[in-house]
Structure 1
Amino acid sequence: MASKLSGNGIYEGSRIILPEHREAYLNEMSVQERLGKPLLDEQEIQLIEEVIYQSYQQCCSVTLTVFNPFDDEKITGVITSIDRPNRTVKLVRRAEDYSWIKIEEIIAATL
């Protein structure tokens, strides 16, 4: 008869995974997969910058999709200022509601 202590015998029989633990593990893995920011090619970056510039020049409404590790945000408003050294834009949603958004965080833009 083989000893339970040899060859990791004690722990071989205790490898039980509860369904709740398995589900929590799978949820955590799906969240970790989602944390990555999508890489944009030069053409997409140029299109985003053109849409931002058009909104700034023509004072027309634009919808920006901003990267967020948990869920991407869609923000609609008018670009009123572009800060080139810091690479940020000022998006005004209503008369007194605005936010500064980094251009690197924008993953899509539409007029």
Structure 2
Amino acid sequence: MGSKKNDLFGSMRFLLPEQRTSYLDHLQDLRLTPQPILEEDEIQVLNQNILESIHFDQAITVRWWKETKGALGVVEEAWGWVQKIDTVNQRIKLANDEELHWISMNKLLSVRSI
């Protein structure tokens, strides 16, 4: 049996749905972060890994920042193969067996080979 500190909703006798929603929204807002700024050498490593993925058909794991609330957002992650680089819109097409993502190049945080 958990303590009352860890079980906020279970220790209350009555809780309005609006209060619960507000609390859950607050917890979601705590996870939001501003967009990280990458150094020039980090950007070069990203570009190198993307080019290797497209030329050698190598699977990669990509992490990118996605804006959700103003200047704050969350970090998302997906794996796959780079199928296309759109230089006009500055984005990449990442596809795997289940999903397809168009990811903006200026939102990328990391690209790792699997």
Q: With the length of structure 1 as denominator, give the TM-score of the two structures.
A: 0.66
Which deviations, in whole Å up to 9, do the C-alpha atoms of 1:82-102 show, x marking residues without a partner? 1112111111111x7322111
Aligned to 1:46: 44
1:61 aligns with 2:59: yes
Which deviations, in whole Å up to 9, do the C-alpha atoms of 1:19-65 show, x marking residues without a partner? xxxxx8xx95x947843101101111111111111000001100000
Question: Whose strand proportion is higher, 1 or 2?
Answer: 2
Superposed CA RMSD? 2.7
Q: Which amino acid aligns with 1:103?
A: M
Q: Secondary structure at the match of 1:63?
A: strand
Aligned to 2:34: 36
Question: Whose helix proportion is higher, 1 or 2?
Answer: 1
Pick the aligned partner of 1:88 from 86, 91, 114: 91
Within 1, Cα distance between the matches of 2:31 and 2:61? 26
Q: Secondary structure at the match of 1:67?
A: strand
1:73 aligns with 2:71: no
With over 3 angstroms needed to count, the CA separation of the structure-2 counterparts of 1:33 and 1:63, relative to structure 1, is closer
Give % identity: 23
Displaced runs of 4+ in structure 1, greater than 6 A? none
Q: Which amino acid aligns with 1:104?
A: N
Flag the structure with larger Rg.
Answer: 1
Check whether the contact 1:40–1:107 (CA below 8 A) recurs between aligned residues. Answer: yes
Give the unaligned 5+ runs of structure 2.
1-21, 67-71
